[in-house]
Amino acid sequence: DSGVTQTPKHLITATGQRVTLRCSPRSGDLSVYWYQQSLDQGLQFLIHYYNGEERAKGNILERFSAQQFPDLHSELNLSSLELGDSALYFCASSPRQGGLEETQYFGPGTRLLVL
């Protein structure tokens, strides 16, 4: 158990809908990262937050947004969902501001299925 929690574990929804994925980092960690794992794209970095502020963006669609709250939990919002958004979404956390040396500890993931 990495100490990172994600809810829900599974989510089934329809095209065009909006969902929110939630992540709580390890106790004391200030950085949160979101990744998407799909069969065709593999593991792709989406976005990084440090202490409530966005630090880096990856291949995140405009339909997707995220935020990190004062209690350091983070939410990833996916809207106007398409079939291709079906994937496993991981949250990870690290102790500080996300330097290249920091190990990222991953949560169990949220498996999203868009029908």
Least separation in angstroms between residue 36's CB and other proteins is 11
Q: Which of 7, 12, 28, 43 binds other proteins (CB under 8 A)?
A: 43
Between CA 115 and CA 106 the distance in angstroms is 27
Q: Which of 21, 24, 36, 48 binds other proteins (CB under 8 A)?
A: 48
Residue with structure tokens 């990856």? Answer: 58
Scanning 18-26, 43-51, 67-75, 78-86 for contacts with other proteins by CB under 8 A, the matching segment is 43-51
31-51 in b/e form (b: 16+ CB < 10 A) is bbbbbbeeeeeeeebbbbbbe
Least separation in angstroms between residue 16's CB and other proteins is 27
Q: Which is nearer to other proteins, 16 or 58 (CB)?
A: 58
Q: Which is nearer to other proteins, 75 or 106 (CB)?
A: 106
Is residue 38 within 8 Å of residue 98, measured between CB atoms?
no
Identify the three-state secondary structure at position 108.
coil
* Size, binding site for other proteins by CB under 8 A: 31
Is residue 25 within 8 Å of residue 73, measured between CB atoms?
yes
Chain contacts with other proteins (rule: CB under 8 A): 2, 31, 33, 35, 42-45, 48, 55-58, 88, 90, 92, 94, 97-109, 111
